[in-house]
Amino acid sequence: MTDRSSISELAALADRIRACRLCVESPRGPALPHQPRPVLRASMTARLLVASQAPGTKVHATGLSFNDASGDRLRQWMGLTRDVFYDESRVAIIPMGFCFPGHGAAKSDLPPRRECRETWHDDLFRLLPQLDCILAIGRYAQDYHFARLGRPLPKGARLDDVVRRWKDFGGQGSGEQGPRLIALPHPSWRNSGWIKRNPWFEADVLPMVRAEVARAIGG
């Protein structure tokens, strides 16, 4: 049972994150090329965490996590409706970068801002000990969460191997201390080619993902 002081501490931390302007006022590298709009969803009752990369342009415009085509695909992977996906009491959504990082020279999204992880993430996850299942989307989230839980990924591990052999890398959680940690590729439609080249992902991984998601949210 959560106590009032912990709930208040989490709420206060989330408010500070949403008001953060470090990447504009004290950036570690080039400044964010637009006004910050940090996006996250967290509660002390959610047992399922979607640990993502960073918001895209549509999420930046609306302030709602995964409110785009990638979110549609991710919800399909998870077997969840929008209503359940956005039930903050059951599902936390915490990206490695809280703001849209901008576009690079090739018009692709830049990596998540390092200020977010270095400033906020350790304190935030200290207040979320109840998390029971983590979907780590992309290598930034995978590297952070596997290491945070004492299961660091080997240097040079390929995304294909981490996604396919998540249990071998210490992600199973069952019978261990800590949550079940499942590695996923980003659900961007730009990854459709990867999914077609790796049919085992839809055949073997997604049924397990849906079962773990259902277990974590209670049915």
Burial class (CB in 10 A: 0-12, 13-18, 19+), 210: middle
pTM of the model: 0.93
102-121 pLDDT per residue, tens: 988 777 888 999 999 999 99
Q: How far apart are CA 5 and CA 141, in angstroms?
A: 28
Quick one: pLDDT at residue 174?
47
Question: Domain of 9: which CATH number?
Answer: 3.40.470.10
Residue 42 to residues 11, 13, 97, 189, Cα–Cα distance (Å): 9, 10, 15, 26
Phi, psi of 104 (to 5 degrees): -85, -170
174-200 pLDDT per residue, tens: 445 679 999 999 999 889 999 999 999
Q: What is the mean pLDDT of residues 26-49?
A: 96
54-97 pLDDT per residue, tens: 999 999 999 999 999 999 999 999 999 999 999 999 999 999 99
Q: In what order do the strands lie in the sheet with 180-184?
A: 91-93, 48-51, 133-137, 180-184
Quick one: pLDDT at residue 5?
84
Number of separate domains in the chain = 1
Quick one: pLDDT at residue 155?
87
Q: Is the pLDDT of residue 45 over 70?
A: yes
Domain extent for 137: 4-217
Residue 131 · residue 49 · CB < 8 Å: yes
Q: Is the pLDDT of residue 173 over 80?
A: no
